[in-house]
Amino acid sequence: MGIKIKPMDMIPLAGNLVKYLQEIIDHIATLKASGIDFDEDLLATFISSKMSEWKPKIKGKMIFDDETRNACARFLSGIAFNLYKTN
């Protein structure tokens, strides 16, 4: 028996992902203004610490463990970094 995920199940998760992505983008602006060099790993460390208290659930089940949270932070950091590179 499989689990069925509906788009509505993902809305709270997606909203928080956008919020964290924006936090990374804002952090990039701060780093640039300060003349600090950065890469995806530095950005991932920054946002992973911000995400440490976030306990997302889908269908009432916790979906993040430390490894998944770190992978998500790296994913979002890669997106932000790539957006920055194109500017």
Read off the pLDDT of residues 9-60 as tens digits, 9 standing for 90 and up: 999 999 999 999 999 999 999 999 999 999 999 999 999 999 999 999 998 9
Q: Assess if residue 82 is contained within a domain.
A: yes
Look up the domain containing 74 and give its range.
38-87
Region of 52 (left: φ > 0; alpha: ψ -120 to 50; beta: rest) is alpha
Q: Assess if residue 8 is contained within a domain.
A: no
Torsions phi, psi of 86, nearest 5? -80, -10
How many domains in the chain? Answer: 1
* pLDDT at residue 1, as a whole number: 65
Which letter does DSSP use for residue 18 in this model? Answer: H
Q: Assess if residue 25 is contained within a domain.
A: no
Q: Check whether 86 has a pLDDT greater than 80.
A: no
Q: CB of 54 within 8 A of CB of 28?
A: no
Q: Assess if residue 44 is contained within a domain.
A: yes
Q: Check whether 87 has a pLDDT greater than 80.
A: no
Torsions phi, psi of 19, nearest 5? -60, -45
Which letter does DSSP use for residue 58 in this model? Answer: E
Q: Assess if residue 53 is contained within a domain.
A: yes
* pLDDT at residue 3, as a whole number: 85
Q: Assess if residue 52 is contained within a domain.
A: yes
